[in-house]
Chain A
Amino acid sequence: MELVVDNLGVARGGIPVLEGVSFSVSAGQALVLRGPNGIGKTTLLRTLAGLQAPLSGKISLDREAMAYAAHVDGIKTTLTVEENLHFWASVFDVPEIESAISAFELEALRTRSAGMLSAGQKRRLGLARLMVTGRPVWILDEPTVSLDQAAVAMFGEVIKRHLASGGMAIMATHIDLGLEDAVTFDLGHLKATSNLAENFDEAFL
Chain B
Amino acid sequence: MMALLKRDMRLAVRAGGGFGLGLSFFLIVVVLIPFGVGPETGLLGRIAPGVLWVAALLACLLSLDRVFSLDFEDGSLDLLATSPLPLEGVVAIKAIAHWLTTGLPLVFAAPVFALLMSLPVNGYSALVVSLFLGTPALSVIGAFGAALTVGIKRGGLLLSLLVLPLYVPTLIFGAEVSRRGAEGQDYTTPLLMLAGVSFAALALLPFASAAVLRVNLR
Contact = CB atoms under 8 A, between A and B. Distances in A.
Establish whether A and B are touching in the complex (CB under 8 Å): yes
Interface of A: 46, 49-53, 63-64, 66-68, 70-76, 78-79, 83, 86-88, 90-93, 129, 133
Contacts, number: 69
B54 interface: no
B84 A63 contact: no
B75 interface: yes
Contact of A79 (B2, B11, B75, B82): B11
A52 B85 contact: no
A52 B14 contact: no
B78 interface: yes
B153 interface: no
Interface of B is mostly: helix
A53 B214 CA distance: 10
A91 B78 contact: no
A74 B75 contact: yes
Most chain B beta-carbon neighbours within 10 Å: one of A46, A51, A53: A51
Contact of B85 (A50, A75, A91): A91
B3 interface: yes
29 contacts: A46-B218, A49-B78, A49-B82, A51-B217, A51-B218, A52-B218, A64-B84, A67-B82, A68-B79, A70-B78, A72-B74, A72-B78, A73-B74, A74-B75, A74-B76, A74-B79, A75-B74, A76-B7, A76-B74, A76-B76, A78-B11, A79-B11, A83-B10, A87-B4, A87-B7, A88-B79, A90-B2, A93-B84, A133-B83
